[in-house]
Chain A
Amino acid sequence: MTATPAARGLPVEIRGLTKNFGRVRAVQGLDFTVQPGRVTGFLGPNGAGKTTTLRMLLGLVSPTSGSATIAGRRYRDLHLPLHQVGAVLEATSFHPSRRARSHLKMIALAGGIDFSRIDTVLELVGLSADAKRKVGAFSMGMRQRLELAGALLGDPGVLVLDEPSNGLDPQGMAWLREFLRHLAREGRTVLVSSHLLAEMSQTVDDVVIVAQGQLRAQGPLTSLIGNTTQSAMRVRTPEGDRLQALVHSAGVRSRREAADVVVVEGVTPENLGPILARYQIVTYELSHQGSNLEDLFLSLTAGLGYGATVPPDARTPQGPPGGPGAPVGQPAAAATPSTPAPATMPAPAPAPAPQPPAAPPSARPPTPEQPPGAAPS
């Protein structure tokens, strides 16, 4: 799909947006901008106000105060809005007895869109063969794709998608990811909310993170991750005490996850690996706990949405695995998938090998800022 001049991306601007439902403040003074040519992820825990914000942007919910505009205009003030904005809000807004083609025809008719676009978008989303089937017989994934077809009918420059990957199978998600990236490359503005952080981290350029109706972070994903969190190394070793003493003497923080597991914070495989080799610390496993979108999200929404208590047997002596910012009560969610140790990892030292002398106080392992080659001799 090639962006026509009319379909060029337009900036989406949210300014001081507030919505109260009775006493409940769903959205509070939200401010952010979504730029054309980029995929922007709109993230937040359940009840953070994401859907309400998107619905205010699309004129379905009236703001209590503030504004949500597309190129400076409210959605309801846009002439033939489907030509400028396409939206996927829920995969259930179909009459089950209506056929897929009739559903799209209805949208095209109301939106002033040529019927020839119907076949184009059906083909785009892979539903050409199902066009004459009733929507009631569709799976959730097919409904989601039909909803996306409806959003694309007007060849819009702005796409607003609320949880578009719900119900999609892995192939569907991969297709959607590539498709959204493709739309952004065409210069369109893509704003997408999702709970699937791993999926979003592969898709988005920018993120907007909200919690309790308020903005927590906004910006390019890479710089936000770099600013907010840092990487750590997880070392499984029988010499935990020695390793901790070594890194402590270098001013590097570490914590004990288990009797034989030490997490060294603020280091990378490239600068910790050589140190382990140099000081001949027996190592069974070395894995990278790299920062990612999930870490960022959890650190910014810590303690929101779920109970603050955790069953005693789920606690670790040194705190939750995701670090101090991670919300307790989500056992695995905070843990980063392990990255296999690099091929250059030193081989485990033979067990009977004599213990090397303890590192002298001056022998400091490299800090994250130091290049690996700058390690002390």
Chain B
Amino acid sequence: MIRVARAELLKLRTTPGPWVVLGVAVALTALGVLTSFVNGNGHHGPTFRAPQTEADLRNLVGSGYQAALLMAPILGVLCITAEYRHKVITTTLLNTPRREVVLLGKGVAAVLWAVLMGIASVVVVAAMGLPWLSALHGSVSALLHQVAPVVPGLFADFALLALFGLGIGILVRNQVAGVLLTIGGTFLLEPLIYALFSHLLHIRLNWLPSLAAASVAGGLNPGNGVGRYLLTWWAGALVLLAWGVGPAIIGYFTTFRRDVT
């Protein structure tokens, strides 16, 4: 199992896809940091202010949240669909014929790479946010107080959403379809479903992946005023865990055990 996980990590390290995903996650985090400091638009362009409230400081620490929502599932999708796309799955299954071990190895590798993305996002926040906050006379100590409530949950978001993507990838197997489904699901389908249920039936679907992820990461504000409907962090963690492993388990018992012809 450890051998397989190490081999899967090596696969990630030796192809450009996961590095591109990491790079985009860093860029999205930087954008998130920038957004946290924007105060509004003045005559000469945007104006900036130091985040003051607890919620704003949490959002600054959790600037990698959007990256987690988008790039972690894409990483998971790539982990498995690249194998089918390039037929490396044949080599993988010859090396490790027990498919449940392959799946576990991929899961471990995806989680570790996703946590690396989480660490990178925190580093970006530290590198950009701390000096900028000082420059704008904000409270660095207040910011540091938000690290403990946010960062572990943010790492969990990256990890579990990568597993979610892995499950999606196992189910669809096609790389383009998997990536499009992830992007479309996060930014189109999920908000649409939430809005429909919220407005028509007055039901708050706070167990959808992005909202569960927001609750895990210390109650980040996912926007659109839904922050007050978030689950508690532990309930969110359980829900996100279900999103993470559910599709993978379904995929294992359906598509992943199929013949490789």
30 A-B residue pairs with CB within 8 Å: A51-B261, A52-B261, A59-B93, A59-B97, A60-B90, A60-B93, A60-B259, A60-B260, A60-B261, A61-B260, A62-B259, A75-B97, A76-B97, A76-B98, A78-B97, A81-B94, A81-B95, A89-B90, A92-B86, A93-B88, A93-B89, A94-B87, A97-B15, A98-B14, A99-B14, A102-B14, A106-B7, A109-B3, A109-B7, A110-B4
Q: Are B95 and A82 in contact (CB under 8 A)?
A: yes
**B137 beta carbon closer than 8 Å to chain A:** no
Most chain A beta carbons < 10 A, residue from B87, B90, B91: B91
Residues of B within 8 A of A (CB-CB), count: 26
**B145 beta carbon closer than 8 Å to chain A:** no
Q: Are B3 and A112 in contact (CB under 8 A)?
A: yes
Complex A-B, nearest 5 residue pairs according to Cβ-Cβ distance, in ascending order: A110-B7, A110-B95, A76-B97, A93-B87, A109-B7
**A90 beta carbon closer than 8 Å to chain B:** yes
Interface of B (DSSP majority class): helix
**A267 beta carbon closer than 8 Å to chain B:** no
Residues of A within 8 A of B (CB-CB), count: 33
Can you name the residue of chain B whose Cβ is closest to the Cβ of A96?
A: B86
**A107 beta carbon closer than 8 Å to chain B:** yes
Interface residues of A (CB under 8 A from B): 51-52, 55, 58-62, 75-76, 78, 81-82, 87, 89-90, 92-99, 102, 105-107, 109-112, 150
Number of residue pairs spanning A and B whose beta carbons lie under 8 angstroms apart? 84
Q: Are B97 and A106 in contact (CB under 8 A)?
A: no
* Chain A residues in 8 Å Cβ range of B6: 109
A201 to B96, CA, bound (A): 34
Can you name the residue of chain A whose Cβ is closest to the Cβ of B96?
A: A110
Q: Are B261 and A93 in contact (CB under 8 A)?
A: no
**B82 beta carbon closer than 8 Å to chain A:** yes
Can you name the residue of chain A whose Cβ is closest to the Cβ of B260?
A: A60
Binary interface profile of B, 135-148, with partner A (CB < 8 Å = 1, else 0)?
00000000000000
Known: A95-B11, A95-B82, A98-B15. 11 other contacts (CB 8 A): A55-B259, A60-B94, A60-B259, A61-B261, A62-B259, A76-B98, A94-B86, A97-B15, A99-B14, A106-B91, A112-B3
- Contact A110 B261, CB 8 Å, known A95-B15, A105-B10: no
Q: Are A107 and B90 in contact (CB under 8 A)?
A: no
Most chain A beta carbons < 10 A, residue from B14, B82, B87, B94: B94
B62 to chain A, nearest CB (A): 33
Interface residues of B (CB under 8 A from A): 3-4, 6-7, 10-11, 14-16, 82, 86-98, 259-261
Q: Are B260 and A55 in contact (CB under 8 A)?
A: yes
A62 to B261, CA, bound (A): 10
B102 to chain A, nearest CB (A): 9
Can you name the residue of chain A whose Cβ is closest to the Cβ of B82?
A: A95
* Chain B residues in 8 Å Cβ range of A75: 97
A105 to B14, CA, bound (A): 10
Selected contact of A93 from candidates B4, B14, B15, B86, CB within 8 Å: B86
* Chain B residues in 8 Å Cβ range of A98: 11, 14-15
Can you name the residue of chain B whose Cβ is closest to the Cβ of A98?
A: B14
Most chain B beta carbons < 10 A, residue from A92, A93, A102, A111: A93
Q: Are A81 and B97 in contact (CB under 8 A)?
A: yes
A49 to chain B, nearest CB (A): 12
A148 to chain B, nearest CB (A): 13
A71 to chain B, nearest CB (A): 15
* Chain A residues in 8 Å Cβ range of B16: 97
* Chain A residues in 8 Å Cβ range of B82: 95
Q: Are A61 and B92 in contact (CB under 8 A)?
A: no
A68 to chain B, nearest CB (A): 13
Q: Are A92 and B91 in contact (CB under 8 A)?
A: no
Q: Are B259 and A93 in contact (CB under 8 A)?
A: no
Q: Are A58 and B94 in contact (CB under 8 A)?
A: yes
* Chain A residues in 8 Å Cβ range of B15: 95, 97-98
Can you name the residue of chain B whose Cβ is closest to the Cβ of A26?
A: B261
* Chain B residues in 8 Å Cβ range of A51: 261
A108 to chain B, nearest CB (A): 8
B86 to chain A, nearest CB (A): 5
* Chain A residues in 8 Å Cβ range of B88: 93-95
* Chain B residues in 8 Å Cβ range of A112: 3
Q: Are B90 and A90 in contact (CB under 8 A)?
A: yes
B8 to chain A, nearest CB (A): 8
